[in-house]
Chain A
Amino acid sequence: MSGGTPVIVLNQNTKREQGRKVQLTNIQSAKTVADVIRTCLGPQAMLKMLMDPMGGIVMTNDGNAILREITVQHPAAKSMIEIARTQDEEVGDGTTSVIILAGEILAVSTAFLEQSIHPTIIITAYRQALEDMLEMASSRYSVDVDTNDTDKMHELIRTCLGTRVHTQWNQVACRIALDAVRTVHKERGSDGQAQEIDIKRYARIEKIPGGSIEDSCVLDGIMINKDVVHPQMRRRIANPRIVLLDCDLEYKKGESQTNVEIRQEEDFTRLLQLEEEYIKTVCQAVLAVKPDLVITEKGVSDLAQHYLVKAGVSVLRRLRRTDQWRVARAIGATIVNRPDELKEEDIGTGCGLFEVRKIGDEYYSYLVQCRNPKACTIVLRGPSKDILNEMDRSLNDALNVARNIVLKPKLCPGGGAFEMAIAHAVSEKGKALTTVHQGPYRALAAALEVIPRTLIQNCGANVIRTLTALRAKHAGTEPEDWMWGVDGETGKLRHMKADGIWEPLSVKNQVLKTATETAILLLRIDDIVSGTKKGGVEGAAAAAKAAANEAAQPAAGGDE
């Protein structure tokens, strides 16, 4: 009765892969991604030059930046690239490590899959190992740090920047990062306000080509890439009174649509007059509070400029909203929308000096010498745009490091020492396991060795010899033996505590968490179907939303 035409159930474009093959290709593609950036780990890391389709060039050794530029086909590889983003957003550092570690964890899993150990068993073991590792990391393999010790903090940040371009830049970057973080740091308030370090919003990096790297600094205030709107305005004011506006200083029509029909000639003149009068009143309202400087997000008409110049007030216009926020926070002003409502409290008086400086061909307005700024601009100087961009990226890392340490002042030794110590401890603990979970449990520990191993590889030392020596050190019984790691430049063993090489624990913890969970996610997959419905997920989400809307109708009846 069969033998007729084949039954077509799915769309014929659908491709499907199943079983062991899927697991192995997933692992393979994850490893491929890891291999791409393997050489970017450690102080001897090499830069990668990426060219985008438009012909632009990116030069970096930042894992996340590299992966962002790469287009990958395989879905599992996509998943890997996503985790670099997660890591970057969560702690802003360790993107390279997380990819390398995730790739390695998957690689060691291959052996178990080939022994036909069910993925769920491997996963359970990994999960357990992860918990144990995190517990050990915070209880045994980390030390507390005093965030008020400036020298120590500089030292710390420098280690984390060990891999970046210029050594001279390193010094500067550490100083800048710590200063900036301290500037924007808001302590835990008495009203229970959580402590806050919002670098993204309150510490802006401005790049000005030219000058030398050492000229880069954190301003005790804000710098804006603008000039005053009128050449006769003052370009240097000490202790200015500053008004911040987010409205136009020009005539703006009302919201409602208006049609004007004019019967008399005078009416038209009157209309024009009215517009001028409006500007005049607005300017008078502004001038009533006696400002020295007016900064607005919107435009300033020629007429308004005229009034303001006459009164000796300088004006900056068309600021970005985010810049305006920073200025408001730095000088203690409130942004005002209606000039007629300006009050004395709205005026910013926290700024010590307003000055327009000409650097190269461009004018920059400086609002500096702020008392207690809480927001700042970081000015970067450097010979070329590409170098500035790379400085920007590495400074971001430094800022994140500084933030992480200030928020969670716990450190662990760098140079692979932390990973070796955890690997050793977990592996020892795993020996006590009697179930089939023992293999994968200890394998996860072994996977951690990929970090010191890659460090050794990248500086060209003998991997086997060095790693064995390192293992021997960690098996030692002295209380601080676990702090032995690899010198990423020479490939020799070093005691991390003695040399002061530290990394924030929060980054390491996040690396462990993200890498392990990604491995779990990918190991659970035994079937890949491609060519499924386009936008199916959105459709589902929309449906769910519609359903939710229904449910929320008040006094909805039964739910079935």
Chain B
Amino acid sequence: SAMAGNANTSNLLMVSGERLTGESVRHQNVVAAASIANIVKTSLGPVGLDKMLVDDVGDVTITNDGATILKLLEVEHPAAKILVELAQLQDEEVGDGTTSVVLVAAELLKNAEELMSLKIHPTTIISGYRLACREAVKFINERLVISVDDLARDNIVNAAKTSMSSKIIGCDAELFAAMAVDAAMAVRVADGKGGHRYPIKAVNVLKAHGGSTRDSVLINGYALNCTVGSVQMPKRITNAKIACLDFSLQKSKMKLGVQLVIETPEQLELMRARESDLTKERVQKIMASGANVILTTGSIDDLCMKYFVEAGAMAVRRCKKIDLKRIAKATGGQFVVSMTNLEGEESFDASLLGQAECVAQERISDDELIVIRGPKARSAASIVLRGANDFYCDEMERSVHDALCVVKRVLEGRQLVPGGGAVEVALNIYLENYATSLASREQMAIAEFARALLCVPKQLAVNAAQDSTELLAQLRARHNASQVKKDCAAYKWFGLDLQEGKVRDNKEAGVLEPAVSKIKSLKFATEAAITILRIDDQIKLTPEAPPSHGGH
């Protein structure tokens, strides 16, 4: 339609919109990536600070987590969006290190642009980056990992502490790291191949403002954010037999479409009476099986409350389905969807009940929780976080989540690497030497990759207001020695000590990160950078007019 008009490229394409090609689009992408990295970079490391994000309606989020920051920002540029997704990906896959992955990706792009200005073709850079990434991963696996054996709880706690050091709970990392490790151990399940899995999502994290950070507790049991259905019920039951139901205990009514034709008005009355009796019978069947704690996802009619009250049982309505499934698993019971058995009769068998030492309603601040302690089949864990206000608790939750992820990675991967920039610097030295040994056109790209990795330790030092040039020089010297001199091998554990502004043996100091997370973040960053590098043409369509005139 818009054929008339100036004959620029977009019109030749028969689309209305803007088109950018070649150098200008690459440049734009790099600038966009860099500005995303700029946003999150001050939150990196143990002395990084937090950001306060205020949305349109004035709700406040205070956070240090790169993924959360980026998720809340309204990012418009397409290349920048790729980085936002990168952080999201890292968050889902690894759960930690979201800030550094963005930093590395942006730095890789920046260095690539310099190479391109030297007329090196993007495909060469890409293959160089790929090669470098592969070599780096190999190097980490061969030379930098520390294996964790089963008993070294210290190492696991240290890894969790490292992840928390940059967060608001950094001062109390000791407490929370131990909590995270205990929680992860509590939800451990065998994977059937001799190992274990740690589904940390089964750790129930609850928040209640009030108290102080250090009043946060790990409950060896499952905490539900519900209260008993009627105040006349007992608040505490020992030797609990728990029924987890997924149906409402309400007056039954006929399903839609079901019709009953009756002849006399008396029958109508009978129907009415039957409605309430049906539910009563159900309740009686459940009680007859010996249940004394009834948890349901649906509602419970007042009608039924009395039966429970009289039997001295606890009934809780409107529990979350997911919670009940987990409770059923933990207590060795079953999540009952319907009482109808194969014969079409309604029945409730005692074997469906889960067991726990004690179920109690406990008060925290102004809220009340149902806590199931000592479940029979397997242990469970809930963490109740306390803090000055809701913003504080939210940020604590994010930090604890990161720590739990780290613990899971360590326990499942059983491999650690030193933190505080040690890996990045070691890789930098290694890759530079590797590049020099390579007689192909990828050499420069690999060298640039090596250089890009330094952005992490550099930013760590900058955030701590330390002399990054000096510190990096020291660190590189150490790592170079470790790689070329036989007797200096122990130098490879050296990383930054940001409080003192020195380099130190981070393995000794307990600054550790899971190897999986380092490797993954390296791979993700490389892939994201490559994705953006491959772009040489960007077409931005002008938004279609609102379809007031109908389609075609």
Contacts and interface: CB of A to CB of B under 8 A. Distances in A.
A83 interface: yes
Interface string A94-130: 0000000000000000000000101110011001001
A551 B201 contact: yes
A530 interface: yes
B325 A552 contact: yes
A118 B251 CA distance: 63
A525 B390 contact: no
A7 B28 contact: yes
Contacts of B64: 524
Nearest to A267: B265
A78 B60 contact: yes
Nearest to B31: A7
Q: How large is the interface on A (under 10, 10 to 19, 20 to 34, 35 or more residues)?
A: 35 or more
Contacts of B71: 533, 536, 539-540
A521 interface: yes
Contacts of B202: 551-552
A254 B388 contact: no
B238 A192 contact: yes
A527 B52 contact: yes
Contacts of A85: 209, 389
Nearest to B412: A559
Nearest to A517: B388
B322 A552 contact: yes
Contacts of B58: 73, 75, 78
A124 B165 CA distance: 12
A526 interface: yes
Nearest to B68: A540
B172 to A, nearest CB: 7
B392 A254 contact: no
A525 B272 CA distance: 63
Most B-side CB within 10 Å, residue of A14, A120, A528, A559: A120
Contacts of A338: 276, 303, 306
Contacts of A200: 366
B59 interface: yes
Interface string B420-431: 000000000000
A521 B388 contact: yes
A271 to B, nearest CB: 5
A529 interface: yes
A329 interface: yes
Given A254-B272, A258-B268, A10 B76 contact: yes
A258 B251 CA distance: 15
Interface in B515-552: none
Given A79-B389, A86-B209, A527-B49, A194 B168 contact: no
Interface residues of B, number: 104
Contacts of A329: 231-232
A435 to B, nearest CB: 10
Given A9-B75, A337-B302, A1 B24 contact: yes
A559 B199 contact: yes
B489 interface: no
A155 interface: no
A358 interface: no
Contacts of B392: 517-518, 521
Contact of B74 (A130, A334, A532): A532
A246 interface: yes
A334 B310 contact: yes
B253 interface: yes
A75 B55 contact: no
Interface string B44-84: 00110111111111111110100011011111110010000
A118 B464 contact: yes
Contacts of A278: 269
A362 B322 CA distance: 50
Interface of B: 23-24, 27-28, 31-32, 35-36, 39, 42, 46-47, 49-62, 64, 68-69, 71-77, 80, 92-93, 117, 168, 170-172, 197, 199, 201-202, 209-215, 230-232, 234-236, 238, 250-254, 264-266, 268-269, 271-272, 275-276, 301-306, 309-310, 322, 325-326, 329, 358, 360, 362-363, 365-366, 387-392, 394-395, 464-465
Task: List the 9 shortest-distance A-B pairs measured between CB atoms, nearest first.
Answer: A513-B212, A90-B210, A255-B253, A11-B74, A82-B389, A517-B388, A530-B54, A526-B49, A89-B366
